Structure 1
Amino acid sequence: MVCAVVSKLSLLSKLRCITIDVTGTLIAYKGNLGDYYCMAAKAVGLECPDYKRMHEGFKTAYTDMAKQYPCFGYAAKMPNVDWWRSCVKDSFIKAGYEYDDATFDKVFKRIYSSFGSSAPYSIFPDSRPFLRWARHQGIIVGIVSNAEYRYQDVILPSLGLHKGSEWDFGVFSGLVGVEKPDPKIYEIALEKAGNIAPEETLHIGDSFRKDYFPARSIGMHALLLDRFKTPDAEEWRKSGAPVLPDLVAAQTWLAGEESLINANKLTGL
């Protein structure tokens, strides 16, 4: 245990940059996807679509669009709104709902507007304090997310996560044309941070496949958050990943000997 404490104590002093995932790490979806599709349909006089069929339809449509036009149509130079229009239309069709163009356009505009605002999201209460604490330590903070430009320009600021006060730079797949788990997205982050060395950087996320493994593969430090007590967390630990319940514990993990020991007891590290 003494060696582990020394290792983690030295890590904070060596860190020059922390990169962090967004959804599941800093913010979470609020409610069900069906809620927003239902509200949009009812607003133009349509019946509320079946939640389960809508959810399954969206999953399939989103997967298909992501395969055909990765990173929200980045390589194809597809406008973001057109990518989502195709995805949402196909979601309805796969769920068994097909509307005429004029009706669908009215429904789509409401859905696109909702998901481009703070309405479907909630911020975890420890997100802002952790990010501000990290920056107060003189650490550069970067966002690394498989998201489109509205996260950077609208959604995060509307949730109180502002560039310049909570984070310093962002790497969003829809803007750079690379998405996790491709390690290149982490290499882009290191470049944006000022060509900081991977061993001077810590990445925090909630996915072993998309966050921990690719970050570690290029030499970055990494830890995972298990905010929702996922059954996969035990496998993450067995694979050697530090797994913590939230960003309060992450700050503790980085802060000092006594705090680290307590955090390890809580998480079984």
Structure 2
Amino acid sequence: MSLLSNLQCITIDVTGTLIAYKGELGDYYCMAAKSVGLPSPDYKRMHQSFKAAYSATAKQYPCFGHATKMENIDWWRLCVHDSFIRAGYEYDNETLEKVFWRIYSSFGSSAPYSIFPDSQPFLRWARKKGLKVGIVSNESYRYQDVILPAMGLNQISQGSEWDFSVFSGIVGVEKPDPRIYEIALEKAGNIAPEKALHIGDSIRKDYIPSQSTGMHAMLLDRFKTPDAESWRQTGALVLPDLVAAHKWLIKEETDAATGEAQSLQTDIS
């Protein structure tokens, strides 16, 4: 039996899989500073300091402060403030707050993101096949309520692309913790893991933990990362995009059907 004919659910990652950032994240921090009349910070330094600040804030307050019931806006305020401080820009509180609001508003819209052209067609195809489609992401509620719908990826509506979502900022569990995939299977209707496929772009956060629950897994290498070859060497299925994923699933189903037909013909003969 082919994988596709046995599937009941596909879960899928968001950033790097369905959508991508336009440019470097630090660029937006620099643009926000310039928009309130400040000299432009150093782009490279700003980008590196953001990554460090994000990691530190996430470590101190995991899942966007879920356990401490921190408001999403307060989590991001800490992260943004720390980003500028780490980059060596210590603005006064009033100025920093103006910069923060520019950044927070921008990332709460579709402006910093682009959707891959194969995302919507793939998700709609999966749902037309009768599969439950779920989003599994280390992001906050704004992706569910604002960003994905603004990108044309909608939940449970006419022509919708996904049935359910598991966002770390909402459930309080984040990748690579396998529990986030167990939550997804429960939300899909307590589907058995061997009847589910997860698609993502990280072997550590997507492939390994989803497989550890018993799910099938697939990785996308949209940006031709040097790590992709090492992924393949571990036995991971790595494809360039969702067009290739669709073709692989269809071909695998066709090959299985052909093999069954040939076997039946042999038995009859």
Structure 1 length as normaliser, TM-score?
A: 0.92
Name the larger-Rg structure: 2
Work out which of the residue numbers 229, 233, 238 in structure 1 matches 2:233: 238
Deviation at 1:31, TM superposition (A): 1.4
Q: Percent identity?
A: 77
**Map of 1:250 onto structure 2:** 245
Please provide the CA RMSD for this pair: 1.4
Contact 2:118 2:243 in 1 (8 A): yes
Provide the rounded CA distance (Å) in 2 between the counterparts of 1:249 and 1:89: 41
Comparing 20-29 and 39-48, the one that deviates more: 39-48
Find out whether 1:224 has 2:224 as its counterpart: no
SS of alignment partner, residue 23 of structure 2: coil
Contact 2:201 2:220 in 1 (8 A): yes
Deviation at 1:257, TM superposition (A): 4.8
Which structure 2 segments of 5+ residues have no match?
257-269
Check 1:253–1:260 CA distance in 2 against 1; reply closer, same or farther (3 A cut).
Answer: farther
**Map of 1:178 onto structure 2:** 173
Matches within 5 A, 1:44-55: 44-55=36-47
Provide the rounded CA distance (Å) in 2 between the counterparts of 1:177 and 1:147: 10
Task: Give the length in aligned residue pairs.
Answer: 253
**Map of 1:67 onto structure 2:** 59
Contact 1:126 1:247 in 2 (8 A): yes
Provide the rounded CA distance (Å) in 2 between the counterparts of 1:208 and 1:258: 25
Deviation at 1:256, TM superposition (A): 2.6
Check 1:12–1:102 CA distance in 2 against 1; reply closer, same or farther (3 A cut).
Answer: same
Find out whether 1:192 has 2:223 as its counterpart: no
Find out whether 1:130 has 2:122 as its counterpart: yes
Contact 2:134 2:163 in 1 (8 A): yes
Check 1:129–1:240 CA distance in 2 against 1; reply closer, same or farther (3 A cut).
Answer: same
SS of alignment partner, residue 194 of structure 2: helix
Contact 1:253 1:260 in 2 (8 A): no
**Map of 2:11 onto structure 1:** 19
Q: Deviations over 1:122-148 (max 9, x none)?
A: 000000000000000000000000001
Moved over 4 A (4+): 257-261
**Map of 2:150 onto structure 1:** 158
Check 1:99–1:147 CA distance in 2 against 1; reply closer, same or farther (3 A cut).
Answer: same
Provide the rounded CA distance (Å) in 2 between the counterparts of 1:152 and 1:68: 24
Work out which of the residue numbers 174, 199, 202 in structure 1 matches 2:197: 202
Structure 2 length as normaliser, TM-score?
A: 0.92
Provide the rounded CA distance (Å) in 1 between the counterparts of 2:224 and 2:57: 30
Provide the rounded CA distance (Å) in 1 between the counterparts of 2:23 and 2:229: 27
Provide the rounded CA distance (Å) in 1 between the counterparts of 2:14 and 2:96: 30
Find out whether 1:42 has 2:34 as its counterpart: yes
Work out which of the residue numbers 72, 80, 83 in structure 1 matches 2:75: 83
